[in-house]
Amino acid sequence: MALAGRVTDAANVLTLEEEARLSERLTRYEERTKHQMIVATTPSLHGARIDNFATCLGNRWRIGREGHDDGLVMLVAPQDRRVAISTGLGMEKLFPDDKALDAVKNMTAYFKRADYAGGVSAGIEAIATQTGDPQ
């Protein structure tokens, strides 16, 4: 999967307008906090663990500032019904695993209704609120 910007929708679950709106929010988040966050969707994980897949994407795409390791990758795999939020080591204190789990649970409620944009937006806002950029 190739990085297509702040939102990479390889699963084609977002409209162009939704991608643009989410990308705009991610841009504002980075401008205000300096932390990089990207959203990626993939149709299937092909048997891979979603947390490993998300971490590999973050490393390959170099998400986060060098020397700070403060990137976040939100990965959604609709066919596998999986979602993960992977954080760099520099984000773990600001956004610990228990907060990521809470955000994922909230996102899942939207995904059950096939509202992927709503779920991703809810996840972004949960992360932003926890890490110092409430909308």
Instruction: Output the domain CATH number for residue 54.
Output: 3.10.310.50
Q: Please report the pLDDT score of residue 112 as a whole number.
A: 94
Residue 18 resides in a domain: yes
pLDDT at 134: 67
For 34, 38, 52, 82, 125, the CA distances from 31, given in Å and listed in that order, are: 6, 14, 28, 29, 15
Q: 1 lies in a domain?
A: no
Model pLDDT, residue 2: 86
* Residue 41 domain flag: yes
Q: What is the mean pLDDT of the chain?
A: 95
This prediction has a pTM of: 0.94
Number of domains in the chain: 1
In this prediction, the residues of the chain whose per-residue pLDDT falls under 70 are 133-135
Domain of 27 in residue numbering reads as 7-129
pLDDT at 135 (0 to 100): 60
Residue 77, classed as helix, strand or coil, is strand
Q: Is residue 25 part of a domain?
A: yes
In a domain, 39, yes or no: yes
Query: What's 95's DSSP letter?
Result: S
CA 38 from centroid of its chain's CA atoms: 5
Angle of helix 116-130 relative to helix 97-111, nearest 10 degrees, comes to 160
- 3-state helix, strand, coil split of the chain in percent (to 5) is 50, 15, 35
pLDDT at 123: 97
pLDDT at 1: 85
The 10s digit of each residue's pLDDT in 89-106 is 999 999 999 999 999 999
